[in-house]
Structure 1
């Protein structure tokens, strides 16, 4: 996926920031505000929200300034606004001009869609802020973080960062900025391990890699380390399930270029390559039994059993034992 935050340029009267990803929303708002002040240093920027909106506030805020200064209204949470909010916002859209810029944030969904439609019909500038969910999304986001700063990171470095921090996009972005600020030259896996090695080693991904490779002792060691450092059993089981499903998907996809399969399967190319390497020693029946074992562990760690850690250990031992059968 590509990040579509606008570069410095003149801001049109209507701007729509559309999508649920909070970090991209904040960056888009910062960029728009910077562009507004660059063009009109004295502009007055006000902020409103569709949440807990009082009827009549928008028309009042959109009215001309007593001293004739240009104004900008940043309107957040348009997707959560009441009918009164939507009515008022639609009423002030035609007032947008060089002296009144309306910047509307809508996180997506059906609620408030008529606002989105009206803005698009009025030729508003649209800044997309789509959700960063899949591993491919996270890979593209992380790679782009380094590219924006004129830096290059190896695929292994990107993978290690995602494995360590990928569940929190804001934390992932912060880690990228730390590496950009604190290092020089190529960012490789060793650099990432220097800064985030403890988190990488404690993640469910390392546990899953060891179990799928048939190394029960290492998988259990990593599991106990992860639990000791505060990682909950639930995401570990989720990673085990995800890694096994990836093996099934890649195994069923057959041959082909990694990039092509990645696009078709919604994975990153390095995940295709890693899954292909991991598939050595696995049969379809064995993978099926492992998926059943992980499903049972998932039930237990979410309240169905008495000892969540033991449930994960049992699933790991099952996976390791099935390797090579």
Structure 2
């Protein structure tokens, strides 16, 4: 049976971990933190080697088999990660993962993570994972579950808050767990042992003049190119790392692709994506301005930026981010922007 996120502490408390793990879902913060918890437990149990494979359309699935057959350099336990953003390994990948699950290498743990997930992703390979290991789908929180998540998160950070403050923060971040987590971490430092009430939260929000990735993306999707580009400049000036920004941009671009494919049932698509009423106008503008093919090209550009940021491709990551933001805000100029070179 597929595992639930709330079962993770029990699963990680075992003396021996299952040999194969799948952690997948569009709720990136929860997927990331679940994977981090697994990595931490692996380190405790002596998995001192770590190997990472980024799976894209050109990935050679023979690499997985070769990794399984390779001996550890230091006779230690190994953790092998498959980062598969789309959650779709294809025919060759499905066969490779199923083959791995049929005979997992000793002293090796395979972690597969995916940033997109739905019932349609399930198949023979996920059943293979479930039979030998842990298949964990992280489903987005429903709107009425969000305040409870915020309250629990606050308590875990030692922050006491009134119900009104919790509700106000839920309204402010509009279902964005990454934004909520960011605000909670900041508030835990500012408030200390005091009880956070709505007035204190409101004052904190009013004083928060940071350029952040959530506002930047909202501005770009809404077509406000000048404001979004000023925010890019602010993030760069503050010494921000481009990788988290690119990760969030990728998630929103994938949302745009899914919305573009929703046809006439856009209201249901907004509900499925948990896009709150206040943000729907921006997404509708973006969908009118650019088609699915444009948003796919933006995803390709984001992938290039990710490689540049990780030293796997040449170029100026911040310059390419500026081009991507301009293309999101002004789709008609997108092709020309991506065609230029630094």
Determine the C-alpha separation between the residues in 1 that align with 2:7 and 2:158: 17
After TM superposition, the structure 1 = structure 2 runs for residues 160-171 of structure 1, keeping only pairs within 5 Å, are: 160-171=168-179
Please report the RMSD computed on the Cα atoms of aligned residues, expressed in angstroms: 3.4
Match of 2:129 in 1: 119
SS of match in other structure, 2:206: helix
Determine the C-alpha separation between the residues in 1 that align with 2:31 and 2:135: 12
Matched, 1:75 2:82: yes
Matched, 1:158 2:192: no
Unmatched tracts of structure 1, length 5 or more: 200-226, 232-296, 304-325
1:51 aligns with one of 42, 48, 56: 56
SS of match in other structure, 2:109: strand
Matched, 1:16 2:18: no
- Against the structure 1 CA distance between its residues 112 and 85, is the aligned structure 2 distance closer, same or farther, given a 3 Å change threshold? farther
Determine the C-alpha separation between the residues in 1 that align with 2:72 and 2:154: 45
Matched, 1:131 2:136: no
Match of 1:38 in 2: 44
SS of match in other structure, 2:65: helix
1:98 Cα deviation (Å)?
5.2
Matched, 1:182 2:184: no
1:45 Cα deviation (Å)?
1.3
Larger Rg: 1
After TM superposition, the structure 1 = structure 2 runs for residues 1-325 of structure 1, keeping only pairs within 5 Å, are: 4=6, 6-7=8-9, 9-10=13-14, 11-40=17-46, 43-52=48-57, 53-67=59-73, 68-77=75-84, 79-96=87-104, 99-106=107-114, 107-109=116-118, 110-122=120-132, 124-132=133-141, 134-185=142-193, 186-197=195-206, 302=285
The answer (yes or no) to whether the contact 1:90–1:118 under 8 Å persists in 2 is yes
The answer (yes or no) to whether the contact 1:23–1:169 under 8 Å persists in 2 is yes
1:66 Cα deviation (Å)?
4.5
1:6 Cα deviation (Å)?
2.9
Determine the C-alpha separation between the residues in 2 that align with 1:98 and 1:180: 43
Determine the C-alpha separation between the residues in 1 that align with 2:124 and 2:149: 30
1:35 Cα deviation (Å)?
0.5
The answer (yes or no) to whether the contact 2:20–2:111 under 8 Å persists in 1 is yes
The answer (yes or no) to whether the contact 2:78–2:108 under 8 Å persists in 1 is yes
- Against the structure 1 CA distance between its residues 46 and 165, is the aligned structure 2 distance closer, same or farther, given a 3 Å change threshold? same
The answer (yes or no) to whether the contact 1:12–1:125 under 8 Å persists in 2 is yes
Q: How many residues align?
A: 207
1:129 Cα deviation (Å)?
1.9
1:54 Cα deviation (Å)?
1.1
- TM-score computed with the length of structure 1 as normaliser: 0.55
1:115 Cα deviation (Å)?
2.0
Deviations along 1:19-71, one digit per CA (max 9) or x if unpaired, are 22111111011111110001105x21112233232131110112242433211
The answer (yes or no) to whether the contact 1:12–1:101 under 8 Å persists in 2 is yes
The answer (yes or no) to whether the contact 1:146–1:152 under 8 Å persists in 2 is yes
